[in-house]
Amino acid sequence: MSTKPGPNYRDQRRRLLARLLLTYLTPLLVAEGYFLVQYRGLVLEGRRNHLVSLSENLATTLDLFLSERVRNLSHIIDDPGFPERPDETDLQDHLSNLRRQSDTYIDLGVFDERGQMVAYAGPYPDLTRQDYSEESWFKELRAGKVGQVVTDIYLGFRQEPHFTLAVSRRRGQQLSVLRATLAPSQVHEYIESLEEAKVVRVALINGHGIYQSANPDLGNPLETSVILPPREPRADSGEDRSGKVYGYAWLHTTAWAVLVDERRSPGEPWLTPQEQRVLLFALLLTLVIIGIIAVRARQVMAVRIETDATTSELSGQLLQASKLASIGELAAGIAHEINNPLASIAEEAGLIRDMLDPRFGDGLVPAELDTRLASIQAEVFRCRDITHKLLRFVRRSDAELASTDLHALIDDLLETLFLRELSVENISIERRFAPELPTITTDANQLRQVLLNMLNNAIDAIEGQGSIVLTTSLVPEGRVALSLADTGKGIPKELLEKIFMPFFTTKEVGKGTGLGLHVSYGIVRNLGGTIAVQSVVGKGTTFIITLPVGEASSPGDRQGGTPCS
């Protein structure tokens, strides 16, 4: 029970708020984190699927684009009127027709079976009569392995990056090859003009990871890409070394892959707008929960403060009742202590009256009168000291921690209230005080109440002649110990766990309130100490109290109350 000033409610409020936040926010934050991760996973999966879909659409479009270019060449070479060795004017007309369909064409050339260019139309006339027999694409056509070829980007004789599209036909024993070259820049412009390319960055790579066409942010033609997707599956998504997501799809007409990733400006946030909205909602929900918890913590603390105030008031009343009950048990001894000096005063007053009566003696002697009056005054002061000590003990006061000499406190209590009664009851008292015991910081008035209760119990427990031993000692961890041992009848083992419970008493009906030990337990706990009991039936009981040498901690920082059975 708390009889000291109120606890530090600000610290308690902080601890309560921290516990509530930990209890309610931890699962909420875990759930929010889990759902955010799941949501981000779904968003990432959606982005992956979107990139794969775009790459497949672009790959299909490029397949159609290349197939159409090849078909254009096939239509020319399959025309029965197309000569084996067309002149430059005819070939230039065909090139003009092709450029009207697509500005990606650079030139046209016709080759004989030996790989010699026999006709040419375009910006590089020096290529005429060049020998292409060792070019890989020509070897494939001459071997008859394929009837058409789409090459990777290369420099060739012109030393300019370009693509080659070629088709071959045999007329009798003669092989004729028609070749067109495409400009990578124009192919790139065509790709960038597609609707799908407006939301992504696009690059074309060959089977070795060499850029055929690329967004300038990704690389340049003939440079090597850091990404080389697998051939299977033909379309999928992945992440580069920096964790950036990309989609890819392989073409069917040639061994090229379309790579796409999202267009992002340097200042673009890491989270998408949808993710930002979800995160903002989670933060708002968290703030609302924190606000509710803060309000609830304030309400709980208000109830606790009110409860503590009521408990403190009731505890004070209980302590006061216990004091009065203890004094009541000692009433006879206290009355005798006061009666003795009163009897002495009455005797001295009678002697003075006789001295004033002319029938007795030789009259008033001033010196003797002064002696008698001094004796009366001494007895009056003795009564005053007894009543002052009683009033100081029973007066209701707030708890006050001060440096206290434990030995002096015990001696004062014994001399004021117990020595006369102990003598009458034929009970000896022995004080085994440890030398140089340090003073303790405690509430002397409350500690005096504890000793009073225990001495009363010890006296009641002793039947006939007996003894009480008070022992003090210094124990580890900066504490002092006080033990009070009596030679009374003892307490049965099955009752030891109940003796500190309120209204429990082993005394006869009408001889005890059952509050003394309960109050003592609460006082000792609030003073930062401990109290324990040992008892053997027929031999006696020992109470052991330990108290801190330093300042006792605030009652609000401990769990008070009584032990449970």
What is the number of alpha carbons within 13 Å of residue 187 lying toward its C-beta? 27
pLDDT digits over 461-501, tens only?
Answer: 888 889 999 999 999 888 999 999 999 988 888 888 888 77
- Alpha-carbon distance of 14 to 12, in angstroms, equals 5
Question: 120-153 pLDDT, tens per residue?
Answer: 999 998 888 889 999 999 999 988 888 899 999 9
Torsion of CA 33, 38, 43, 44, to 10 degrees: 100
Residue 195 has pLDDT above 50, yes or no: yes
| Mean pLDDT of the residues in the chain | 82
Between 316 and 206, residue with greater pLDDT: 206
Cα–Cα distance measured from residue 236 to residue 231, given in angstroms and rounded to the nearest whole number: 10
CATH 3.30.565.10 fits 398-565, yes or no: yes
Determine the pLDDT at residue 561: 39
Q: Which residue has the higher pLDDT, 144 or 379?
A: 144
Query: At how many degrees (to 10) do helices 444-461 and 273-329 cross?
Result: 50
Give residue-wise pLDDT tens across range 31-86. Answer: 888 888 887 788 788 888 999 999 999 999 999 999 999 999 999 998 888 887 88
Question: How does residue 344 score in pLDDT terms, banded at 50, 70 and 90?
Answer: confident
Model pLDDT, residue 5? 41
What pLDDT does residue 58 have?
Answer: 93
Residue 407: what pLDDT? 94
Positive or negative, the CA dihedral 183, 185, 186, 191 is positive
pLDDT at 316: 65
Query: Considering the domain 1-308 in this protein, what is its CATH number?
Result: 3.30.450.20
Between the alpha carbon of residue 3 and those of residues 10, 360, 399, 400, the distances in Å are: 19, 61, 6, 10
Ordered by start, the domain boundaries in the chain are 1-308, 330-395, 398-565
**Tokens (6 digits) for 526:** 């609030």
Identify each DSSP E strand in 462-564 by its residue range. Answer: 466-475, 479-486, 530-536, 540-548
Task: Please state which of the ranges 157-166, 225-234, 343-352, 460-469 shows the lowest mean pLDDT.
Answer: 343-352
pLDDT value of residue 511: 60
- Two domains, one topology: 1-308 and 398-565: no
Strand partners, 544: 483, 532
In sequence order, the 6+-apart residues with CB closer than 8 A to the CB of 390 are 327, 334, 416
Q: How many residues does the chain have?
A: 565
Task: Find the range with the poorest average confidence among 26-40, 151-165, 293-307, 542-556.
Answer: 542-556
pLDDT one-digit tens code per residue, 6-30: 457 788 888 888 888 888 888 888 8
Amino acid at 84: E
pLDDT band for position 526 (50/70/90)? confident
pLDDT the model gives residue 229: 92
Q: Which residue has the higher pLDDT, 52 or 380?
A: 52
pTM for the full predicted model: 0.52
Q: What is the pLDDT of residues 240-274, one digit of tens each?
A: 888 788 999 999 999 999 999 887 655 556 666 77
Rounded Cα distance, 167 and 78, in Å: 10
Give the pLDDT confidence score for residue 557 in this predicted structure: 43
DSSP string of 121-168? ESS-GGGTT-B-TTSHHHHHHHTTS-SEEEPPPB-TTTTS-BEEEEEE
- Across 281-287, average pLDDT: 86
State residue 303's pLDDT score: 84
What's the pLDDT at 34? Answer: 84
Averaged pLDDT for residues 287-315: 81
Question: In this prediction, what percent of the chain has a pLDDT beyond 70?
Answer: 84
